[in-house]
Structure 1
């Protein structure tokens, strides 16, 4: 399973902050950098997107913006706000039942640590103009949002997931020089299956020989191709992935440190704790209490 699938399938990925609203000026949709990932679609009308360090971007019907770990302001005003939001929660002002602008937005507020491979490659803002791509699912999302139907909120969440995948695929394929390592690797006919093997059974004591055997290639070809696409050796990536998964389990479950160590492939909880400290700068127990001093690097 690739990191994007892991993100969308993760049971702890609570995406309750979904906006489907019309707006009349003055209006704004804002959020702070604590938000892991925010998808914003302009379903009708126009808007301006403001992100720190970047020029304002004019948005029109059919445009999509992905915001990653950044504060932002989307609204009718082309002038940047004097102060960006600090709270990660979506904040909405100026909504109106008959407003000319409709915005659909979803916030992935608990982006798991085992999505760190994805997180490391995403820029703070991805802008996809309606004139530059032809999404298949975006019209379905807009159509669903414009009606009053049963289970609409649940349907919008699922359609947003699919539009997110479509948008990331478009971004990856249209900007191959951007360095989105795992995105290229996940769709590679050799390394994609290797990643799936490691992600699907993180506790297995994988070796280069076994991974190569599983995908029908030589050890040299798997090792060199993996390093070229992902930027690090397979077993180094696996070691980091195990700790990413462990961090997510510490944050979102009540399992003991020893149980989590076994679940991610460590037979010795002391070795697990030592590796975790090297990765996150604190012990697993302290991390569970919110004491991490470093962020994961993919």
Structure 2
């Protein structure tokens, strides 16, 4: 798998949740902060305001997508002056897995045109938080522009159709579309970081040498990588590669490799019944003892105990 897909696969836990919501003015709904999750809002019809807790209100129009990678609390409203209430549509509500649709009415029988949104949330495991996501801003706004983000727009349209008119197969289609939406939101944000000004993981993924080395480690974490072999993959000599990788990723190549191996092992322990020896082999350890020692240094507990605690 590529780096971005790998990161999402390791961090994701449980099912993503979503709902289609029709709001009728006057309305204002407060969405609480949800640690260990990422949320989104998509405006399908009408206009509204996004009101973050500590910045100015932001007008949203049809087609706008807002991604909150760290589960930040926020308010959606027909007007910044409307007093908010607790969220009637909570993306963290497990009932949305079955319902997929929610109609919120601020004024019964009101004549004001409806604002229709898609809200949703992804559950993320804080214990497997990747620095790629930790480095994202609190809020990412992808405004609608004619001809831009065609793949994202197509995914939103498919998701909206499934949520509006559930049919046979909807319960399988919706989670797949939500995963696709998440990857498109992240891909667009990374692609749009200005060349030469991006920092951290945005710069790392846009640097051919560093990205090549990362892809190699993610493609085959069990390989006996050294700084020299990774540098060869990247097409650089050893010392310049190590400096470049460390500056962009925030840790030396082999430190990142060990961290990724142990993060991958944690997912395998929780999501499979494979014996410890098999998991050790999948992440590059011939000795189960060596694997257990490395895992305990990373996670503070032995692999077997970590599995039982899950």
Q: State the TM-score, normalized to the length of structure 2.
A: 0.74
1:287 and 2:290 matched: no
What residue is the counterpart of 1:95 in the other structure? 104
The more displaced of 191-200 and 76-85 is 76-85
CA distance in 2, matches of 1:240, 1:193: 18
The more displaced of 227-236 and 103-112 is 103-112
What residue is the counterpart of 1:61 in the other structure? 62
Question: Larger Rg: 1 or 2?
Answer: 2
CA distance in 2, matches of 1:282, 1:190: 35
What residue is the counterpart of 1:42 in the other structure? 43
Query: How far off is 1:201 after superposition?
Result: 1.2
3-state SS of 2:150 partner = coil
Q: Is the 8 A contact 2:64 2:143 kept in 1?
A: yes
Closer, same or farther in 2 for the Cα pair 1:199/1:158, shift >3 Å?
same
What residue is the counterpart of 2:153 in the other structure? 139
Q: State the TM-score, normalized to the length of structure 1.
A: 0.76
What residue is the counterpart of 2:272 in the other structure? 253
1:162-181 alignment runs, 5 A limit: 162-176=180-194, 177=197, 179=199, 181=200
> Any stretches of 5+ residues in structure 1 without a counterpart?
292-298
Closer, same or farther in 2 for the Cα pair 1:244/1:11, shift >3 Å?
closer
- Number of residue-to-residue matches in the alignment: 288
Query: How far off is 1:82 after superposition?
Result: 7.3
Query: How far off is 1:134 after superposition?
Result: 2.4
3-state SS of 1:137 partner = helix
What residue is the counterpart of 2:286 in the other structure? 267
CA distance in 2, matches of 1:185, 1:201: 19
When the two chains are superposed, the root-mean-square deviation of aligned CA atoms in Å is 3.8
Query: How far off is 1:232 after superposition?
Result: 1.9
Q: Is the 8 A contact 2:222 2:283 kept in 1?
A: yes
What residue is the counterpart of 1:127 in the other structure? 141
What residue is the counterpart of 2:212 in the other structure? 193
